[in-house]
Amino acid sequence: MAGAILSTVYGRGFSLSPLSSLSLSHSSVTPGAYTGPDLSESPMSRYDRNQPTRNHRSNPCCFCWCCCCSCSWNEDRNRLHKGEIRSWAGSFEKLMKSPAGRNVFREFLRTEYSEENMLFWLACEELKKEYCRPSVEEKARGIYEDYISILSPKEVSLDSRVREMINRRMQDPSPHTFDDAQLQIYTLMHRDSFPRFLNSGIYKSLLQNISRSSSES
């Protein structure tokens, strides 16, 4: 199991799912709030049409939203050591700032069927990097459809106050449209999922494997 965990952490980065074509239900928003796009176009057609041309390395883990990680074990071992992995236990902030930390935590969330929380948080971070208005509107719409809409299978858990705020902001999206929702999900992961992660076999196996590798090197 430990080998599989390391393969998960080092063997690939994390990429977000293509934007879905789910639209907003008129019954789920207040009058004048944002409504979703026409469903006549297929999800993949809309996704492919809006993707910029990129020159990636052949490395398959370089398609992630928030980092570009290496697939080389020797290279990663120089960057990630036991001390860093142990530091995650004392600071959720350090875990979330570490690409490898986010990756292994996401794997844990997947086992609890709550991976959408990390995906939403990452998508919000990516949105904050946008300054071009058309790109902001497109990404904001995609985030709404994927994680806010009650029709989405990846809907995150938000209170009614935050949802109403998002509905108003979606009339004129900005890079910070989802800031309140992102903070709420960050807090949820910190208080609810993080303690269980530290006691999980995923985290403990990673520590053991790093210790074994250090003693053998």
Yes or no: say if 139 and 170 are a contact pair by the CB < 8 Å rule.
no
Q: Which domains does the chain have, with CATH numbers?
A: 80-214 (1.10.167.10)
pLDDT the model gives residue 175 = 98
Structure tokens at 79: 């960057």
pLDDT the model gives residue 139 = 98
Yes or no: say if 161 and 143 are a contact pair by the CB < 8 Å rule.
no
Q: Which residue in the block uniquely carries the two structure tokens 């009614």?
A: 160
Q: What pTM was estimated for this model as a whole?
A: 0.64
DSSP state of 107: H
**Nearest-angstrom CA–CA distance, 30 and 160:** 12
Phi, psi of 8 (to 5 degrees): -65, -45
Task: Spell out the per-residue pLDDT of the chain, length 217, in tens.
Answer: 544 454 444 444 434 444 333 343 434 444 445 545 454 444 444 444 444 444 443 343 333 333 444 343 344 444 577 889 999 999 999 999 999 999 999 999 999 999 999 999 999 999 999 999 999 999 999 999 999 999 999 999 999 999 999 999 999 999 999 999 999 999 999 999 999 999 999 999 998 888 776 666 5
**Best CA proximity match to 203, nearest among 107, 79, 75:** 107
- Please report which residue ranges of 38-132 form alpha helices under DSSP H: 43-49, 73-79, 82-90, 92-97, 99-111, 115-127
pLDDT the model gives residue 214 = 64
Burial class (CB in 10 A: 0-12, 13-18, 19+), 32: exposed
pLDDT the model gives residue 215 = 63
